[in-house]
Chains A and B, each alone.
Chain A
């Protein structure tokens, strides 16, 4: 088999380009293999019955399900053994105020995103939280959340959560810990804290920071270290900016007509992404003229949501961002005489020059955004560029604030110092509040070895008994964010109180960081976290408003989820420049040296969009979440550009050895169109060994390559083929990439309709077809909807493909996960999926997203063919599934042209693990094996609204029913409402000339319609790219044949 693979000549990029050209008007394509469709290639990819296909593949998967869902009897038993608090049971003779059994309640709280706060609104059913949404009052949420917030509810109920205190791996108790810790603490106290080391993650919690500062005051010689593996601005914790707070940037994209994103995924990740996505999408949706529409340029190493939305994306190694900014600043300054060489290739420079001209023309209405992973001096360059553009200031597109995260200015020391101390036996008590440094510390620090060497009494507070717990003497189970009191501040400083939604699931054994710090401080009568948080904020309020009534204000804070007037003050651009000085001379010389070549590749480390730094590795929803664009689940890959893969003769799934500075790991390769050449991107957070039943052994551990000097990117990577292959679990491409035939492609209607703003201005209806405007005549009269007629509109111009809707749907509708084997079989259960398509040259294609759920067709093909009437039309237009009636013929799915139905091929739901029962939404049936299911338009929410409306004797207002996907969407791409209400928001959307029906030619009359995607390309850049493609060898192009030969 392997011989057969190696003998196949993969299609060259040039050949691919010819194929694309032959197909005429730019067709959409899904993957490189689809483009290639060479007979030899397909031969090996698509053997009808590939060798491994007929094995007993389902034989093992049952076991895997049990593991995945954590349905282990042992765990259930362990839970049963946990001692519960003895509490008096008092029946509701008089019910508590504001509480009715069965009534849904919502509580505002917040969650931490790398230390920054994100406001949440949590839905609670009879005292158990079931669904997390964004807090509409929170400035960084506006009601939206990211995938992590959606999925963190599963972490709360994760059966793998640590439930007891462990002493060297044996079950112990909190009291025993207190007893045994006392002598060591006494010694530390006697030495004024010498030997006490505290390790935390990034935090902005005012109460926690105050508590630690108190501790440090009590123990002046104690040390506080912070380790946040995926806080990319690691320099915060270094010594060079001690005494000064690092800066955070607050962007305002509502005014930005031109955006240049350099190695920045501002739409897809980061503490600010929800707000920025909302602003970006709003402008993109509302300003439909070439004069007003935002134009997004991006350049960076790996494709992501931002590069996919960009009107022009330029693949660029991370090391070259500095050069681009250097050149950009030169262009903006206009002082041509002093220009130094930028170190860019000619075509790269031409690209930058064209972009610079466009930015300059729009001055203060343009903004440069640089990714957090870039070093401090690059950020200083960006600040220069923004200052030259004039967009810095309270009314401009960028403001600077002092970071609210605890940093060097607060006495925080870097992790490396802790490792030195451990190795030098200078640590007596090591308290780690969260985190997992044994797994995720820079590899060259070798944290595990230091732990082994040290004789310190080590304590690890963690929600999971993980890799680090294993190396510690004591493990204390941590409370989930939804189980304890705390507080947190958002990027702009806005503070929120985090309030518990549920009694600790595992009783008093689980503790918060506040509790542990109380013990370390030697408090005789430990205060509760609630007392600490309220005490802190009482003081805060007293300092500001001495006469305020704290109880009333506190109640308001809790209700709103934000503390009014707690935001930070902005810092001026000049002051900001002083705050982070840069090396003026370095850039251009540095450049030549650092630029990756075919021999010495660049590696880029990124947090994973699903498991982040590894903390969500045991979260099945996130593991099974198809990554934006690649649609990969259950694992990480080494992403490479197609041209690099071609030179190295690599196919998707080929295992390669990545070697950096003598450290190496094995990783599967995935070709990513639009990836920078000579660059490999890897995501962190995989290859966990003690994550839990779900996360163990998934993917490879990229931390093993990451050195302390090169946390975000490094040069000098070597890549070697192992000859082995891995079957990647992807939800979209699978192996079905072939079968596209030229003579049909040009006529097959494209699922994503798109065009350019210029065409839209000529004819706003240019994307529509006849059936989009008038439904065709019918022999039978149409059903008259006298009440509501529900419908949805999805704006493809807004959707950034962030996946939040997919997880929100999963959480709302009790959708099970199925595991990698089932995903490979095409059996993922997501009711809502996001298809992605490419167009154009594989080295930097345009990318399109299309969220697809049940379209609730008026003429639903599925209803006609169900033999038992299990899927029927409701009087409100919904296409409904009656699970109890379904016998599972799957005919409905076959006849669904959108293929949005999902079938329970096996028993996917875990019905046995008790704690997972708490997780489920009681409003939604849990489906059993053999039953078809699909999107219901969140019918339970419609019913809830109807009940309320009926009680108040009125009809449901527009906007009262919000589907789970709509609620979570930061881009507001999804609108749902009553089509019978002419003023409803959904009708406004559907009146747009961009509105179209997917597969409307089948006369299915879908109730979900789409708004076409408009692009706003720069004509100068289009001309430039056209020139380049005509004369490919004129510049040092990544596809230069000589360079190809060298590679």
Chain B
């Protein structure tokens, strides 16, 4: 059933992919791949291809930033959160902005691997592995901030219900306690899902590894995977169960994070639209980040065969859709402030448009609402360069959105006598950039030591697409 494609056929299919409307029918895997070619190409990145200079440079740059993070944390623990620009009306600053931003980014991976798995979207296959890794790393970065932003971080465990001599439990009405549960559940389930997904591939790597160290390492991680039918059966059941578990979590995590704001009575925070609007924003920022990572990766490692224009096209559509939902959220905030006739809410809206942070607000509207609109054009959706640029802009925009929500609302709330400004300090920036360093350091290690595309799933895809071709 399998035939080696001729060069002409390859060229034709390529031309077809790039010049016709990239639609549902476009390939999710470049035609002509076999089980062997897929396995070879992906596992080679980990096992046989020489480590590129670009990888070393990237890792070095990220590592430098990681050291900036270390320094910032050390200084923070030494001095206290006063090294940041937070003040008395604006008691939450970059730490919470970054937390929400990273958590949002962490949404795409699970969404892709769980929800799209359940919805049987075959195009998810080639991006789900590194999207999941991205999720884990983003959640790790996000998880740092609630700890660091505490006045006395060494007592973080007081937020968890554990038996103690004081017979004290956390205060369960506080959304921060809900956060602890939501984020830690999300992190552990995501980790489990990601790891289980890796097991067949770890088995492949074990089998293909040539060095003893790699054999032992991958062998231990593969947990004795032999690829028997029973293994595959149990593996499928476990994946589906975990996907089922993950699905509500995708929605719940950012809903709970939005409660941090929505439960409070601060004008600009206290609104019922926050949960859906936060989830949509999270998916938007998550997909933007997947795009930000996928486009350079497919270029650097020559993975155009696996991450095809169809993937980029679909992700662009998700971005466009969620950007519209987020835009709807912005419009509803403004509408409700007017319709609700609450002077404080109205003042918040007015302050965002015209106040001290108005540049940030206008920039956010540009990044999140206006820029994605050019994704209506299919030519744009087919241009990796433009898509990369748009993804970066959306990343910035989503960060600004959290900045606007956290800072402008606090800087001017009820009583004019206590209004004040927030100006980030060097350490605010250093901590933020440091987590970017942490993220990329781990990501570079991931692409080097683990298969960034699920090999076995690609093999399935080869099988399915060839069947598909056969039926044509």
Interface residues of B in 175-229 (CB under 8 A from A): 175-177, 180
- Residue picked from B341, B344, B412, most chain A C-beta under 10 Å: B344
Closest to A829 in B: B88
Encode contact with A along B253-268: 1 for CB under 8 Å, 0 otherwise: 0000000100111100
Closest to A900 in B: B418
- Residue picked from A48, A732, A850, A932, most chain B C-beta under 10 Å: A48
Known contacts: A46-B356, A894-B92, A897-B265. The answer to whether A906 contacts B80 by CB under 8 A is yes
- Residue picked from A50, A886, A905, most chain B C-beta under 10 Å: A905
In the complex, A998 Cα to B87 Cα: how many Å?
Answer: 23
Contacts of A999 in B (CB 8 A): 414-415
Tell me which of B153-161, B379-387, B445-453 binds A: B153-161
CB within 8 A of A903: which of B88, B264, B347, B423? B88
A55 with B426: CB separation less than 8 A: yes
Contacts of B350 in A (CB 8 A): 739, 741, 743-744
Contacts of A53 in B (CB 8 A): 85, 423-425
A868 with B171: CB separation less than 8 A: yes
Q: How many chain A residues have a CB neighbour from B under 8 Å?
A: 75
- B302 CB–A CB distance under 8 Å: no
B173 with A58: CB separation less than 8 A: no
Closest to A57 in B: B425
Interface residues of A in 883-929 (CB under 8 A from B): 885-891, 893-895, 897-907, 929
B356 with A868: CB separation less than 8 A: no
Known contacts: A54-B424, A738-B356, A861-B265. The answer to whether A891 contacts B174 by CB under 8 A is yes
- A748 CB–B CB distance under 8 Å: yes
- A778 CB–B CB distance under 8 Å: no
Contacts of A56 in B (CB 8 A): 425-427
B85 with A751: CB separation less than 8 A: no
Q: How far is the CB of B353 from chain A (nearest CB, A)?
A: 8
- B376 CB–A CB distance under 8 Å: no
CB within 8 A of B356: which of A42, A885, A998? A42
A868 with B150: CB separation less than 8 A: no
- B83 CB–A CB distance under 8 Å: yes
Contacts of A889 in B (CB 8 A): 149-151, 176
CB within 8 A of A736: which of B343, B359, B420? B420
A58 with B79: CB separation less than 8 A: yes
Known contacts: A62-B79, A734-B420. The answer to whether A899 contacts B89 by CB under 8 A is yes
In the complex, A900 Cα to B414 Cα: how many Å?
Answer: 12
- A281 CB–B CB distance under 8 Å: no
- A866 CB–B CB distance under 8 Å: yes
Closest to B178 in A: A867
A58 with B419: CB separation less than 8 A: no
- B292 CB–A CB distance under 8 Å: no
- B417 CB–A CB distance under 8 Å: yes
B174 with A886: CB separation less than 8 A: no
A735 with B425: CB separation less than 8 A: no
Q: How far is the CB of B336 from chain A (nearest CB, A)?
A: 14
Contacts of A751 in B (CB 8 A): 415-417
In the complex, A852 Cα to B418 Cα: how many Å?
Answer: 10
Encode contact with B along A714-741: 1 for CB under 8 Å, 0 otherwise: 0000000000000000001011101111
- B283 CB–A CB distance under 8 Å: no
Closest to B151 in A: A888
Contacts of A749 in B (CB 8 A): 343
Q: How far is the CB of B17 from chain A (nearest CB, A)?
A: 44
Known contacts: A850-B417, A867-B159, A868-B158. The answer to whether A891 contacts B176 by CB under 8 A is yes
Closest to A749 in B: B343
Contacts of B347 in A (CB 8 A): 739, 741, 744, 748
In the complex, A898 Cα to B416 Cα: how many Å?
Answer: 10
Interface residues of B in 104-140 (CB under 8 A from A): none
CB within 8 A of B89: which of A748, A826, A833? A826
- A931 CB–B CB distance under 8 Å: yes
Closest to B409 in A: A894
A931 with B354: CB separation less than 8 A: no
In the complex, A713 Cα to B168 Cα: how many Å?
Answer: 64
A827 with B351: CB separation less than 8 A: no
B423 with A864: CB separation less than 8 A: no
Tell me whether chain A's interface is mostly helix, strand or loop, or mixed: loop
Closest to B355 in A: A739
Contacts of B180 in A (CB 8 A): 867
A932 with B151: CB separation less than 8 A: yes
Interface residues of A in 610-662 (CB under 8 A from B): none
- A835 CB–B CB distance under 8 Å: yes
Known contacts: A895-B265, A897-B413. The answer to whether A902 contacts B426 by CB under 8 A is no
Q: How far is the CB of B207 from chain A (nearest CB, A)?
A: 48
- Residue picked from B171, B344, B360, B427, most chain A C-beta under 10 Å: B171
Known contacts: A865-B175, A890-B92, A999-B414. The answer to whether A58 contacts B356 by CB under 8 A is no
A887 with B151: CB separation less than 8 A: yes
- B321 CB–A CB distance under 8 Å: no
B87 with A825: CB separation less than 8 A: yes
Q: How far is the CB of A761 from chain B (nearest CB, A)?
A: 29
In the complex, A744 Cα to B353 Cα: how many Å?
Answer: 13
B82 with A865: CB separation less than 8 A: no
Encode contact with A along B69-90: 1 for CB under 8 Å, 0 otherwise: 0000000000111110111111
Known contacts: A58-B427, A866-B171, A905-B81. The answer to whether A827 contacts B152 by CB under 8 A is no
- A783 CB–B CB distance under 8 Å: no
Contacts of B354 in A (CB 8 A): 738-739, 741
Closest to B410 in A: A894
CB within 8 A of B152: which of A49, A888, A891? A888
Closest to A34 in B: B416
Interface residues of A in 44-95 (CB under 8 A from B): 46, 48-50, 53-58, 62
- A8 CB–B CB distance under 8 Å: no
Q: How far is the CB of B172 from chain A (nearest CB, A)?
A: 9
B170 with A893: CB separation less than 8 A: no
Interface residues of B in 306-365 (CB under 8 A from A): 341, 343-344, 346-347, 350-351, 354-357, 359-360
In the complex, A901 Cα to B424 Cα: how many Å?
Answer: 21
Encode contact with A along B26-62: 1 for CB under 8 Å, 0 otherwise: 0000000000000000000000000000000000000
- A15 CB–B CB distance under 8 Å: no
Contacts of B162 in A (CB 8 A): none
- A270 CB–B CB distance under 8 Å: no
Closest to B406 in A: A894
- A127 CB–B CB distance under 8 Å: no
In the complex, A893 Cα to B414 Cα: how many Å?
Answer: 13
- B431 CB–A CB distance under 8 Å: no
Encode contact with A along B416-460: 1 for CB under 8 Å, 0 otherwise: 111111011111010000000000000000000000000000000
- B411 CB–A CB distance under 8 Å: yes
Closest to B426 in A: A56
Closest to B175 in A: A865
Known contacts: A890-B92, A931-B152. The answer to whether A866 contacts B174 by CB under 8 A is yes
- B91 CB–A CB distance under 8 Å: yes
Encode contact with B along A864-876: 1 for CB under 8 Å, 0 otherwise: 1111110000000
CB within 8 A of B91: which of A741, A822, A893, A906? A893
Closest to B177 in A: A867
Q: How far is the CB of B137 from chain A (nearest CB, A)?
A: 25
Given contacts A736-B419, A902-B88, 8 further A-B contacts (CB under 8 A): A55-B426, A734-B420, A736-B411, A739-B419, A822-B82, A826-B88, A852-B418, A867-B159
Chain A positions near chain B (C-beta within 8 angstroms): 28, 30, 34, 42, 46, 48-50, 53-58, 62, 732, 734-736, 738-741, 743-744, 747-749, 751, 822, 825-828, 833, 835-837, 850, 852, 861, 864-869, 885-891, 893-895, 897-907, 929-932, 998-999, 1002
**Chain A to chain B contacts (Cβ below 8 Å), 9 pairs:** A46-B355, A49-B424, A54-B425, A54-B426, A58-B83, A58-B425, A826-B87, A890-B151, A930-B80
* Closest 9 A/B residue pairs (Cβ): A888-B151, A930-B151, A835-B417, A905-B82, A826-B87, A739-B355, A906-B82, A741-B350, A53-B423
Chain B positions near chain A (C-beta within 8 angstroms): 79-83, 85-92, 149-153, 155-156, 158-159, 168-171, 173-177, 180, 260, 263-266, 341, 343-344, 346-347, 350-351, 354-357, 359-360, 410-421, 423-427, 429
